Structure 1
Amino acid sequence: MPSVKIYDTTLRDGAQAEGISFSVEDKIKIALRLDKMGFHYIEGGWPGSNPKDLEFFKKIRHCPLRHARLAAFGSTRKAGAAAENDASVKAIIDSGVQVATIFGKSWDFHVFKALGVTLEENLAMIRETVAYLKSRGLEVIYDAEHFFDGCKANPAYALETIRAAAESGASAVVLCDTNGGTLPAEVKELVEKARSVLGVPVGIHAHNDGELAVANTLAAVQAGAEQVQGTVNGYGERCGNANLCSVIPNLTLKCGIETIPREKLVHLTDLSHFVSEVANISPNPHQPFVGASAFAHKGGVHVSALLKDSRTYEHISPGEVGNRRRVLVSELSGMSNLLYKYKELNLDIERQSPEGKRILEDIKKLESQGFQFEDAEGSFELLVRKTNHGYRDPFILEALRLLVEIKENTPAYSEAIIKMRVGDRVVHTAAEGNGPVNALDNALRKALYDFYPCIGSMHLTDYKVRVLEEKDGTGAAVRVHIQTGDGKRSWGTVGVSRNIIEASWQALADSISYGLLKGDHLARNGEEEKAVNGKKPAGNGSLQTN
């Protein structure tokens, strides 16, 4: 089976994306995860450019990698200087890495405009830098910056630059579409041309400015490229880099080319989410292969076919990349969607049952009012179970009062007073918060903790408000969506009202009710948890919002 080496540059090129700033500890975490996934190369950064990358290379020495080779990035020597005296080159050697990745100019326009040197001096800079690093025992990978633009402008010179790197000891020459404007057919043609003049493997480094980074990467591999550079989730400067979460499964599953170990492919979705979490960026639900919506089905015709054979509307099995199929329920749903959801919940229903028809009508009516169940599986399941499955609410609201006091030059004060029934007991309590919704959340948790200590493990992770009828101004209906997790699972709930507090209460009450429904084993161990914890959580995991 043919194989391609995977070279990850998330820690360097990915970190250049707007809104991303990895700490040294972040970079170490990601490097270790990439190594565990079986990536062949991990580019740790540019030690000659900033103190953070220098510190990373020092600390990573104490966390030896088992599979990947660690690379340090840098440029060719400065014009008129010796490679051994160049600070950037010396920083690579001092970093202690096994691999040096050096970029140089392939486009004569850049040689004249960016470097301000002659074409001959640029060739000397390439040759001497590669040769010196090779003489110091490092594997040298040469990144031919702007190769495709350079080859279209002055093919003879662009090819001469990569030949200079190969003849000076580079183990691989990586052709870079730095501006991201090349088309796949051009990439294929120019990769083949580069291979014809080189005696070393060729790689590809594609940017996504034309939304073609993945396509260009695949085209390069089809033309004979043996190394692929990219980033997890496609993070990178401007529009990003080739997304390895798409490149790897396409090469492995579609092209039959060996990349990372096949048994690691099922962890690809987890890797994507892990890196987005470390980067503090919400995962893109519509990302191919690993996004939450990548295998989500909404149309009734689609779901009807899926029930017969998943290949009708899925190009691969979601489990191959560690993802899962989701069937959405909305006003567009048919009975097939409902049958699928019932099967997913281990509930029985007949296709023509009155119950099913009633639930579909309820869903359509609620969605016409502004409810949306696509990303609120908690509220949807509670709706189903309340219909005819012996479900009992774990608590019932008797009364709720909110006090908000605002004074000039003084932080606003919020207090929630709540009265609830739990079984045959009535609880009456109050709690403060940094806003009315936060106070409501704290009061609800305070009232329920003695009955359900497991709510201490439930954390509200997101709170969103959407105005549904902007023309009605402050009197418009709003939809509140809450995302909750307990460390093992995550679920969404929804509420709709012309009163934002009522909508928030609906979503919040559903989030706790659903968590108790799915985590009832925790509730049974409540007394043991109380004994261990010793006291109630003070707003643990509560929603911090105004």
Structure 2
Amino acid sequence: MSKSISIFDTTLRDGTQGEGISLSADDKVKIAKKLDALGVHYIEGGIPGSNSKDIEFFKRVQDLGLTSKVTAFGSTRRKGSIADQDANLLRILESGVSAATLVGKSWDFHVHTALQTTLEENLAMIYDSIAFLKQRGLEVIFDAEHFFDGFKNNPEYAVAVLSKARDAGADWLVMCDTNGGSLPHEISDIVTSLTGQLPGAPLGIHTHNDCELAVANTLSAVQAGVQHVQGTMNGYGERCGNANLCSIIPNLQLKLGYDCIGDDKLRTLTNTARYISEIANVNMPVNQPYVGNAAFAHKGGIHVSAILRDSRTYEHIEPEKVGNKQRVLVSELAGQSNIVSKAQDMGLAFDPASEQSKHIIGKIKELEHEGYQFEGADASLELLLREANGELQELFTFESFKMLVEKSAGQPVVSEAFVKVNVAGESIYTAAEGNGPVNALDNALRKALVQYFPTLKEMHLADYKVRVLDDKDATAAKVRVLIESKNFENAWNTVGVSSNVIEASWEALVDSMRYALLGQISPEQTHESAVRQGLINH
């Protein structure tokens, strides 16, 4: 029988301390719902009363009916004060949560230097605060800040802190590697020591990633006896981030046999990670383990030939177990196997011996010679293969576009695009402004198409890259533009190449829209359906 591990997500609190991450109350509510659907046991919502966003979140979350326990974060009472008069503790009670996370000092250096109080008073602060919340019916998770550094310097006092928290009734005693400087063998040795000194104690782990070891340290702690794991989605957090639950959960469940969230929930992990990155407006690293876009991507021809026979040759798990999928990249290193595999993924009949197949393979190689790079533009490649196979329905056709870029003295640059496309035999002419030429083109094209295809409202440009292909031609050089587009479920990349950066951008932009519309019915039917649903006006 597998051992259960309690999963505690602190994306909404510790994760928001990461550089560049700012979540509104609405963002927090959306993420909380997604985390609840994933099946984590605790969702730490923030610090009650610290700002208007957290105040609003704790009010709204009470009506969501979540299965996960929402916790509020706070510190122990101030030195020399009384717990039932401490504003921080009272705000936790007012938040309406059933569980609280209290942080207290466990390193004597911090007690003397940061708190500027005595070791005895710190123990009293911990005991009084936990007891106060327990007497009022709350579950209490005690986070022993800087525990591992404290243990290395004064093990007796660090253990005394946990012991005092346990005496006060803490439900979990969480050891924090707050500075992220510990190594896996140190974590393992210290946790093993504690299981002997505090037998039966409900131990937890909270690590940071300053040495790129947060996940490894967490796994070491669990194998040494910890049953409660804290972390964030995608490893968000201060400095180098927190322990990444997107790696921890599948490692515990698939590799070590622990029961964390259930196999059905695990299959939603990739979707959850990408959804949260979208809400947080932070691009996920493509090579992020398990949930990254390249986690199960294959480029070398020998690799691809092997995985077509048996995916176990170059994949450590079945990607579907975490909701990801196998991807085959097509590049200058690719052989025939790569293109065959891509076609098979799309359900296309692709006989590499046929003249048609040989033609498309040759065309891809020719385009790469011109500067196209399909390795990072799967969507453009799929469109190319579907078109060659006669399975691409063109829902709109390009007629023309014009650009106006105006700069007046003392005024910002104004970009305006004029786009003409044909949809269902009707020529549509639109104009739109943007903060740059590409943004203006995107706005104008979207404006023309969204009345027929309202699902385009859900997509947006997430990234835009330009690369000069031959710098010896200076400003006349050919450029490659790569555009990443996203909606709440998927991300896709398209490519364009030209000696004119606007034309290359337009090519990649049009492909991004064409890909978003794959599988759509005719524009007339889509338009009529959207009118019936009230998505657009007549």
Question: TM-score, length-normalised on structure 2?
Answer: 0.89
Q: Which residue of 2 aligns with 1:85?
A: 85
C-alpha distance in 2, partners of 1:347/1:493?
20
Q: Which residue of 2 aligns with 1:153?
A: 153
Q: How far has the Cα of 1:151 moved from its partner?
A: 0.8
1:166 aligns with 2:166: yes
The share of aligned pairs that are identical, in percent, is 53
* Letter aligned with residue 107 of structure 1: W
- What secondary structure, in the 3-state scheme, does the structure 1 residue paired with 2:287 have? coil
CA 1:200–1:496: 2 relative to 1, 3 Å: same
Deviation per CA, 1:467-494: give whole Å up to 9, x if none.
3245544223221223456777654321
1:130 aligns with 2:130: yes
Q: How far has the Cα of 1:28 moved from its partner?
A: 2.2
Q: How far has the Cα of 1:392 moved from its partner?
A: 7.9
Q: How far has the Cα of 1:349 moved from its partner?
A: 2.9
* Letter aligned with residue 258 of structure 1: D
State whether residues 419 and 426 of structure 1, in contact with CA within 8 Å, keep that contact through their aligned partners in structure 2: no
Q: Which residue of 1 aligns with 2:482?
A: 481
Q: Which residue of 2 aligns with 1:519?
A: 519
Name which of structure 1's ranges 472-481 and 357-366 shifts more when overlaid on structure 2: 357-366
Q: Which residue of 1 aligns with 2:109?
A: 109
* Letter aligned with residue 108 of structure 2: D
* Letter aligned with residue 453 of structure 1: Y
Q: Which residue of 2 aligns with 1:259?
A: 260
1:39 aligns with 2:77: no
Q: Which residue of 2 aligns with 1:382?
A: 383
Q: Which residue of 1 aligns with 2:466?
A: 466
CA 1:471–1:390: 2 relative to 1, 3 Å: same
* Letter aligned with residue 127 of structure 1: Y
Q: Which residue of 2 aligns with 1:119?
A: 119
Name which of structure 1's ranges 201-210 and 408-417 shifts more when overlaid on structure 2: 408-417
Q: Which residue of 2 aligns with 1:333?
A: 334
C-alpha distance in 2, partners of 1:341/1:107?
55
Deviation per CA, 1:88-146: give whole Å up to 9, x if none.
22222222222222121111111111111122222222222222222222222211111
C-alpha distance in 1, partners of 2:18/2:420?
49
Deviation per CA, 1:450-473: give whole Å up to 9, x if none.
xx9337736442452313245544
* Letter aligned with residue 456 of structure 2: S
CA 1:471–1:148: 2 relative to 1, 3 Å: farther
State whether residues 454 and 530 of structure 2, in contact with CA within 8 Å, keep that contact through their aligned partners in structure 1: no
C-alpha distance in 2, partners of 1:77/1:535?
52
- What secondary structure, in the 3-state scheme, does the structure 1 residue paired with 2:453 have? helix
State whether residues 467 and 476 of structure 1, in contact with CA within 8 Å, keep that contact through their aligned partners in structure 2: no
Deviation per CA, 1:53-108: give whole Å up to 9, x if none.
3333233223332x222222221221122222222222222222222221211111
Q: Which residue of 1 aligns with 2:431?
A: 431
Q: Which residue of 2 aligns with 1:75?
A: 75
C-alpha distance in 1, partners of 2:55/2:397?
58
Q: Which residue of 2 aligns with 1:453?
A: 452
- What secondary structure, in the 3-state scheme, does the structure 2 residue paired with 1:57 have? helix
Q: Which residue of 2 aligns with 1:240?
A: 241
CA 1:86–1:414: 2 relative to 1, 3 Å: closer
Q: 1:340-359 to 2 correspondence within 5 Å? A: 340-359=341-360
- What secondary structure, in the 3-state scheme, does the structure 1 residue paired with 2:100 have? strand
C-alpha distance in 1, partners of 2:201/2:367?
63
Q: How far has the Cα of 1:445 moved from its partner?
A: 6.3
Name which of structure 1's ranges 131-140 and 154-163 shifts more when overlaid on structure 2: 131-140
C-alpha distance in 2, partners of 1:31/1:446?
33
Deviation per CA, 1:128-177: give whole Å up to 9, x if none.
22222222222222111111111111111111111111122112211110
Name which of structure 1's ranges 408-417 and 26-35 shifts more when overlaid on structure 2: 408-417
* Letter aligned with residue 299 of structure 1: G
What CA RMSD, in Å, does the superposition of the two structures yield over aligned residues?
Answer: 3.1
CA 1:225–1:408: 2 relative to 1, 3 Å: same
Q: How far has the Cα of 1:501 moved from its partner?
A: 2.0
C-alpha distance in 2, partners of 1:379/1:206?
41
Deviation per CA, 1:18-39: give whole Å up to 9, x if none.
1112222222222232223222
CA 1:530–1:172: 2 relative to 1, 3 Å: closer
C-alpha distance in 2, partners of 1:204/1:411?
51
1:61 aligns with 2:62: yes
Q: How far has the Cα of 1:350 moved from its partner?
A: 3.0
C-alpha distance in 2, partners of 1:119/1:3?
35
Question: TM-score, length-normalised on structure 1?
Answer: 0.88
Q: 1:405-444 to 2 correspondence within 5 Å? A: 405-409=406-410, 412=413, 429=429, 431-434=431-434, 435-438=436-439, 440-441=441-442
* Letter aligned with residue 108 of structure 1: D
C-alpha distance in 2, partners of 1:148/1:311?
39
* Letter aligned with residue 148 of structure 1: F
State whether residues 172 and 204 of structure 2, in contact with CA within 8 Å, keep that contact through their aligned partners in structure 1: yes
Q: How far has the Cα of 1:16 moved from its partner?
A: 1.0
- What secondary structure, in the 3-state scheme, does the structure 1 residue paired with 2:292 have? coil
Q: Which residue of 1 aligns with 2:211?
A: 210
* Letter aligned with residue 159 of structure 2: L
Name which of structure 1's ranges 254-263 and 352-361 shifts more when overlaid on structure 2: 352-361
Alignment coverage as a number of residue pairs: 533
C-alpha distance in 2, partners of 1:126/1:445?
57
CA 1:82–1:443: 2 relative to 1, 3 Å: closer
C-alpha distance in 2, partners of 1:487/1:62?
24
CA 1:4–1:503: 2 relative to 1, 3 Å: same
Q: Which residue of 1 aligns with 2:18?
A: 17
